[in-house]
């Protein structure tokens, strides 16, 4: 089994880190540069930065903030939000990002995945999928979770792999911010049909939730926000507990 990753997520709005529940009711969670530095020092395996209102506000990701964060950390860094072109991807990679997270733009233009993968390598392209359960199926939402697409989430994730994505960041909108645990059914079904790594997002509230995502649903990484931002769980403690559960993790 490959080493499993712990990934804090910085949701950015107006230059600040925020966190809500089910994509709503955002509250301030601190300065993103300070949080990034802290997570790098505490042993996070990677960091994700999502400019969550960039698409809605029809603007590009905050490149200057990406540069400031990149200067403070020494771990892989994924950036997303409002990215629509290969040129914008190149700008963010030059600013210090290691990967880009693409969501709304690839639903509107799926070939952007292929163009980005061919230009920068599949390892730099993360397909972000915001999924909500409707009946017996999960559907894809875009624009910060505000717009339904009608796309079947499982079929869409399979397509992103085929088009060249190197990784999937899968957020359960139903679980987001609830701390009720990851959607193990969704994660399990995705991992049965694709071969690229899947990052579990949405619902982390306890150490056990993270262990379950890996052991029961085969997640390659667990992403969380508020439990780390507000120091409800320390990264080192989480890694130690995952290690005790027989999960290979990188210990610092």
Q: Rounded to two decimals, what is the model's pTM? A: 0.92
What average pLDDT score do residues 118-142 get?
96
Whether residue 108 is contained in a domain is answered as yes
Residue numbers of the domain that contains 11: 5-244
Whether residue 135 is contained in a domain is answered as yes
Write out pLDDT tens, residues 174-223. 998 889 999 999 999 999 999 999 999 999 999 999 999 999 999 999 99
Q: What's the CATH number where 65 sits?
A: 3.20.20.70
Whether residue 98 is contained in a domain is answered as yes
pLDDT (0 to 100) of residue 246 = 97
Confidence of residue 226 (pLDDT cuts 50, 70, 90): confident
CA distance 70 to 126: 18
CA distance 124 to 120: 6
Active site residue 11: yes
Active site residue 130: yes
Backbone CA torsion sign across 26, 29, 31, 32 = negative
CA distance 71 to 82: 22
Whether residue 251 is contained in a domain is answered as no
Whether residue 93 is contained in a domain is answered as yes
What average pLDDT score do residues 80-100 get?
94
pLDDT (0 to 100) of residue 128 = 97
Q: Which of 51, 130, 176, 183 is catalytic?
A: 130
Do 13 and 32 meet the contact criterion of CB atoms below 8 Å apart?
Answer: no
Write out pLDDT tens, residues 143-179. 888 899 999 999 999 999 999 999 999 999 999 888 9
Q: Look at the chain and count its residues.
A: 252
Whether residue 174 is contained in a domain is answered as yes
Do 212 and 181 meet the contact criterion of CB atoms below 8 Å apart?
Answer: yes
Q: Which of 11, 51, 183, 212 is catalytic?
A: 11
CA distance 100 to 94: 11
Number of domains the chain contains: 1
What percentage of the chain has pLDDT greater than the value 90?
76
Tell me if residue 91 falls in helix, strand or coil: helix
Token representation of residue 102: 């693409």
Confidence of residue 40 (pLDDT cuts 50, 70, 90): very high
Do 227 and 198 meet the contact criterion of CB atoms below 8 Å apart?
Answer: no
Whether residue 67 is contained in a domain is answered as yes
In the block, residue with structure tokens 């769980």: 233
Whether residue 252 is contained in a domain is answered as no
């Amino acid at each position: 089994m490959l080493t499993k990753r712990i990934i804090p997520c910085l949701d950015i709005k107006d230059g600040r880190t925020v966190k809500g529940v089910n994509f709503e009711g955002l509250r301030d969670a601190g300065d993103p540069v300070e949080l990034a530095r802290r997570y790098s020092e505490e042993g996070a395996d990677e960091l994700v930065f999502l400019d969550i209102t960039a698409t809605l506000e029809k603007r590009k990701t905050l490149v200057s903030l990406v540069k400031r964060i990149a200067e403070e950390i020494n771990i892989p860094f994924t950036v997303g939000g409002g990215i629509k072109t290969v040129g914008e991807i190149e700008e963010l990679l030059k600013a210090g990002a290691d990967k880009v997270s693409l969501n709304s733009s690839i639903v509107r233009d799926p070939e952007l995945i292929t163009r980005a993968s061919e230009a920068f390598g599949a390892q730099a392209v993360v397909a972000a999928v915001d999924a909500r359960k409707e009946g017996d199926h999960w559907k894809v939402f875009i624009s910060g979770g505000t717009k339904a697409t009608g796309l079947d989430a499982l079929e869409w994730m399979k397509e992103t792999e085929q088009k060249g994505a190197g990784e999937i960041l899968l957020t359960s909108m139903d679980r987001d911010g609830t701390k009720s645990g990851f959607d193990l059914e969704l994660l399990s079904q995705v991992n049965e049909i694709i071969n690229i790594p899947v990052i579990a997002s949405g619902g982390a509230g306890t150490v056990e939730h993270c262990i379950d995502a890996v052991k029961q649903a085969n997640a390659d990484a667990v992403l969380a926000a508020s439990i780390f931002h507000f120091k409800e769980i320390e990264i080192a403690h989480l890694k130690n507990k995952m290690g005790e559960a027989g999960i290979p993790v990188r210990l610092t």
